[in-house]
């Protein structure tokens, strides 16, 4: 069945929409249909740039996959120690770095690692000067730090030791509907919360409470909380649980801090209004990318004055002439 271009919504899509409309256009419209080798050259170029990542994201993704492996091994009755996880993760970082540097990504762009730092020849990734070594070490250290937090933080003991029978999701991408639109959500880990008095107290009908955890490898952002609020709707649709019996928490693995959202009626109505407002703005500029490439001018670039901050790590710099 052919995939059809349609408007969907996610917190990351909303973030891109708010940060740069032109980036949003490249991500969700121009790159559409660019996956075929014989695709329209502009679509192909945007698609290949969209598939690029950067070291902070790549390192963060590896941490997520290492934690996913931990749960997968547990599910099979096997262990995956902190040392094994760190070895696996650092090897994966080095493998991806080489795949990007040596052009190995070209054979399978959608499944490979291609770093924006290499594509744009950034000074931070220059090997002869030693800068690349320093830059790479920063992410090796971050991976170690995050995984040690996951495996050792007393605050995460309960999450590490949840019985597999109580797991609900682990890096599961799923969709649900709000305002007649498909909403994407990928909670990192969700489980039946059996702590005494969990989530608004013991329920009279014995319905389970649900706890959702997102692993964060960077600094806290305002958008993190909104993402947790959206998960409450996901929990309602996916597991038919009362959102008021859902707690969601961001676990910042860099420093071990936790930021928890207790879902209330007020939180839900605020999140719903924010999603509706975001969708209304997106609908106003939406067009069918199967039928045309649209008009990029309808999606303004960030102003020149903001470019040093906004564009310096964007993968689309060459399309915007902001290299």
State yes or no: residue 285 binds ligand SF4 (CB under 6 A).
Answer: no
> What is the dihedral sign for C-alpha 114, 118, 120, 124?
positive
State yes or no: residue 310 binds ligand SF4 (CB under 6 A).
Answer: yes
Stretch that binds ligand SF4, among 46-54, 174-182, 210-218, 313-321 (CB under 6 A): 313-321
Stretch that binds ligand SF4, among 20-28, 84-92, 194-202, 276-284 (CB under 6 A): 20-28
Candidate residues 9, 11, 22, 267; the one interacting with ligand SF4 per rule CB under 6 A: 22
State the number of binding residues for ligand SF4 (CB under 6 A). 12
Query: Given the complex with ligand SF4, which of 74 and 317 has the nearer CB atom?
Result: 317
State yes or no: residue 322 binds ligand SF4 (CB under 6 A).
Answer: yes
Smallest gap from residue 199 Cβ to ligand SF4 (A): 39
Smallest gap from residue 299 Cβ to ligand SF4 (A): 9
Q: How far is CA 207 from CA 157, 201, 249, in A?
A: 24, 11, 20
Query: Given the complex with ligand SF4, which of 152 and 312 has the nearer CB atom?
Result: 312
State yes or no: residue 316 binds ligand SF4 (CB under 6 A).
Answer: yes
Q: Tell me which H or E stretch contains 238.
A: helix 222-239
Query: Given the complex with ligand SF4, which of 20 and 199 has the nearer CB atom?
Result: 20
State yes or no: residue 48 binds ligand SF4 (CB under 6 A).
Answer: no
Candidate residues 9, 14, 23, 230; the one interacting with ligand SF4 per rule CB under 6 A: 23
Show contacts with ligand SF4 in window 181-220 (CB under 6 A): none
Q: Tell me which H or E stretch contains 181.
A: strand 181-185
Smallest gap from residue 159 Cβ to ligand SF4 (A): 35
Stretch that binds ligand SF4, among 30-38, 127-135, 139-147, 311-319 (CB under 6 A): 311-319
What secondary structure, in 3-state letters, does 99-137 show? HHHCCHHHHCHHHCCCEHHHHCCCHHHCCCCCHHHHHHH
Closest CA to 90 of 125, 152, 139: 139
**Parallel, antiparallel or unpaired: strands 246-252 and 257-262:** antiparallel
State yes or no: residue 52 binds ligand SF4 (CB under 6 A).
Answer: no
Closest CA to 278 of 212, 186, 181, 176: 181
Q: Output DSSP code: residue 93.
A: H
| CA–CA gap between residue 240 and residue 99 (Å, rounded) | 43
Residues 29 and 293: beta-carbon distance below 8 Å: yes
Place of tokens 């996956």: 35
State yes or no: residue 317 binds ligand SF4 (CB under 6 A).
Answer: yes
Site of interaction with ligand SF4 (CB under 6 A): 20, 22-23, 301-302, 310-311, 314, 316-317, 320, 322
């Amino acid at each position: 069945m052919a995939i059809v271009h349609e408007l969907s919504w996610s917190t990351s899509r909303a973030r891109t929409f708010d940060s740069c409309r032109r980036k949003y256009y490249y991500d969700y419209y121009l790159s559409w249909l660019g996956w075929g080798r014989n695709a329209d050259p502009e679509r192909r170029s945007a698609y290949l740039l969209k598939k690029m990542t950067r070291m902070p994201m790549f390192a963060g993704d590896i941490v997520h996959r290492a934690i996913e492996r931990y749960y997968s091994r547990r599910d099979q009755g096997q262990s995956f120690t902190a040392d094994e996880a760190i070895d696996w993760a650092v090897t994966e970082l080095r493998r991806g770095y080489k795949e990007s540097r040596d052009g190995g990504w070209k054979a399978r762009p959608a499944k490979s690692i291609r770093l924006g730092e290499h594509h744009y020849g950034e000074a931070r990734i220059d090997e002869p000067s030693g800068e690349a070594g320093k830059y790479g070490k920063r992410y090796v250290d971050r991976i170690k730090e995050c995984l040690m937090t996951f495996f050792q933080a007393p605050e995460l003991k309960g999450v590490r030791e949840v019985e597999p029978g109580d797991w609900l999701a682990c890096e599961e991408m799923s969709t649900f509907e709000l305002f007649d639109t498909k909403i994407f959500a990928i909670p990192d880990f969700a489980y039946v919360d059996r702590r005494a008095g969990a989530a608004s107290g013991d329920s009279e009908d014995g319905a389970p409470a649900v706890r959702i955890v997102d692993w964060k490898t960077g600094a806290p952002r305002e958008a993190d909380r909104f993402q947790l609020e959206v998960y409450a709707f996901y929990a309602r649709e996916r597991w038919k649980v009362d959102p008021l019996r859902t707690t969601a928490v961001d676990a910042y693995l860099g420093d071990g801090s936790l930021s928890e959202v207790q879902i209330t009626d007020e939180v839900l109505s605020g999140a719903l209004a924010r999603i509706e407002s975001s969708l209304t703005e997106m609908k106003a500029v939406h067009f069918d990318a199967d039928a045309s490439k649209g008009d990029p001018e309808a999606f303004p670039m960030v102003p020149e004055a903001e470019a040093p901050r906004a564009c310096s790590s964007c993968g689309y710099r060459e399309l915007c002439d902001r290299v």
